[in-house]
Structure 1
């Protein structure tokens, strides 16, 4: 399996909700921080203004906007300043299948908005994604993405039996397709996981670290996997990823350790071996230095917190028209994978 497929599987898209907005100028809508989602403009155009971001960006009909980091943002009919209405007030109590109307008497815009939740614990790949993936319909969206966005829009406009499961499956594929399209043309100033994955040599080293964190990796060993000299590999990895190979490997091991500590009854010594530490003492020292608490204290503190968070997150941030989270039926739990060791 390729690394992109593995990582998207690890993110575990657990719930998806959609609603359709029929907007007429003038209008402006604020989407709060914390809600990861997408916007599909099916008619007209709008402007996207991201909190802490650059100048407002024009979004045209046929464009797909993915907000993977949950950054707060505003959609508006024009770049001029205007008080934005909270989206949660607009969609509260909306009936399934009915368009939500808002605005004045000007030019119309139709947007299909989606909200999704990952069953993840701060996955490094998710944290490394840019706050906005803007795929323009006239440039970077291929026929597969166009087909999936059109199908989602159709399901949201006229939901039938099984609409929740259909939109959930379509959203899974749409996320992969969006990342794949972005990988084909990563901006030159991009730093992080997507940039590294787009580089064939750095991507090979990333794949080995992700699949076998328990191995005794060194910079020379990773450079050999990439087919590069040690100096060239270290420089390119740091330039592409924004961190050194050692720092990325340490962060990935700590992420895997946190997942294991929170998801099962494995002993600390077993977790240490699973993520590449030769002794429990060395692992505990590194874990406390990087995470701030001992492995056992982290496990005990977060088990109760995870239960409370999971219960709270059963209620979506917004009140959507339809939800794909149906009694946990769409939840996908990733199990332990068999390790592939180097010969």
Structure 2
């Protein structure tokens, strides 16, 4: 018996899988650039990292120990540990003795390529070696995803996700060290995968009581509703239909959705559609009416009113600013 999958079936299955991924907000996640630092720090050392808007930062400890002080939290990192700071918050990374952090630029920094640099400190004690990165993004969907995430995601060396994440970080390091044709594009794609892997690890570990819209995609009661919402932004999405898909009454569905996601279904749908629209407006090539209809609005006027309430400016202004 021939156990090979027919070519037509393989193509169909691939398209089905791709469709499911595109239906999730994670299918829209996109990073634009990565700046990478290989740091060798000898005690005593402490580095104050500035806040960088529209960025995600990470640290991978290759050897030694470190402490991250971020948003009133103290996170100890050992060999192999990885930490992601989704919103690029300013933070201190210091030695195990909590040495006072000094400004980043007071250390010895050697620029190797456009995307890669080496940092060393002036101490003589025990050594800590890290790979650190700043990942930049500018699309509205990515901002929406990142804004819903916690202050940090700590992935320990014994985590199931660790080996994959470490391999991606090292691939970025290798690519940035040996800059050549296509380096910028390649490292941004690797960064997409890195952030996706971190989000996956976080979702796998997060509590079911955590009000977060990404978690709703893995919630047994809400997953079908979320697929419906993201499957076609232009569709007329009825709350009763979403409730029925979730096996709940309308009132119970709204209450449960708000508990898990952190906002009502109506507001979530509106915010999601407007973030998609803002991303398309930033490209500057499509008429506002076309975008409005594609994200579920019946008229340009209704879309413009909702858009201005959320972003404080009309769609035409966003479009003209992005094309200047």
Contact 1:45 1:109 in 2 (8 A): yes
Quote the residue 1:316 is aligned against. none
Contact 2:33 2:187 in 1 (8 A): no
Task: Return the match for 1:65 from 62, 83, 99.
Answer: 83
Deviation at 1:174, TM superposition (A): 2.2
Quote the residue 1:303 is aligned against. 322
Contact 1:186 1:194 in 2 (8 A): no
Q: CA offsets per residue over residues 156-198 of structure 1, 9 Å max, x none?
A: 6x64757946654443322222211111111456332332233
Tell me how far apart the structure 2 counterparts of residues 98 and 276 of structure 1 sit (CA, whole Å).
Answer: 46
Q: Does 1:132 align with 2:152?
A: yes
Contact 1:272 1:279 in 2 (8 A): yes
Q: CA offsets per residue over residues 265-306 of structure 1, 9 Å max, x none?
A: 333322221111112222222223333233323433x225xx
Contact 2:109 2:118 in 1 (8 A): no
Task: Return the match for 2:44 from 26, 35, 49.
Answer: 26
Contact 1:129 1:193 in 2 (8 A): no
Deviation at 1:31, TM superposition (A): 1.3
Q: Which runs of 5+ in 1 are unaligned?
A: 308-343
Q: 3-state SS of the aligned residue for 2:76? A: strand
Contact 1:40 1:111 in 2 (8 A): yes
TM-score (norm 1): 0.77
Deviation at 1:221, TM superposition (A): 1.7
Task: Return the match for 1:104 from 107, 123, 146.
Answer: 123
Q: CA offsets per residue over residues 202-256 of structure 1, 9 Å max, x none?
A: 2332232223121111221222333433233222211111111111111111112
Task: Return the match for 1:193 from 190, 209, 213.
Answer: 213
Quote the residue 1:90 is aligned against. 107
Higher relative contact order (CA 8 A, sep 6+): 1
Q: Does 1:116 align with 2:116?
A: no
Tell me how far apart the structure 1 counterparts of residues 159 and 209 of structure 2 sit (CA, whole Å).
Answer: 19
Quote the residue 2:25 is aligned against. 7
Equivalenced residue count is 300
- Cα gap change, 1:281 to 1:75, in 2 (>3 Å): same
Q: 3-state SS of the aligned residue for 1:106? A: coil
Deviation at 1:73, TM superposition (A): 0.9
Tell me how far apart the structure 2 counterparts of residues 5 and 214 of structure 1 sit (CA, whole Å).
Answer: 13
Tell me how far apart the structure 2 counterparts of residues 128 and 228 of structure 1 sit (CA, whole Å).
Answer: 25
Q: 3-state SS of the aligned residue for 1:252? A: helix
Q: 3-state SS of the aligned residue for 1:190? A: coil
C-alpha RMSD of matched pairs (Å) = 2.8
Contact 1:13 1:116 in 2 (8 A): yes
Tell me how far apart the structure 2 counterparts of residues 201 and 43 of structure 1 sit (CA, whole Å).
Answer: 43
Q: In terms of mean alpha carbon deviation, does 123-132 or 161-170 score higher?
A: 161-170
Q: Does 1:222 align with 2:265?
A: no
TM-score (norm 2): 0.81
Q: In terms of mean alpha carbon deviation, does 196-205 or 84-93 score higher?
A: 84-93
Deviation at 1:94, TM superposition (A): 2.7
Deviation at 1:117, TM superposition (A): 1.4
Deviation at 1:89, TM superposition (A): 4.7
Contact 1:37 1:115 in 2 (8 A): yes
Deviation at 1:22, TM superposition (A): 0.6
Aligned counterparts, 1:1-343, within 5 A: 1=18, 2-3=20-21, 7-34=25-52, 35-50=55-70, 53-78=71-96, 80=98, 82=100, 84-90=101-107, 92-96=109-113, 99-121=118-140, 123-152=143-172, 159=178, 164=183, 167-187=187-207, 190-300=210-320, 302-303=321-322
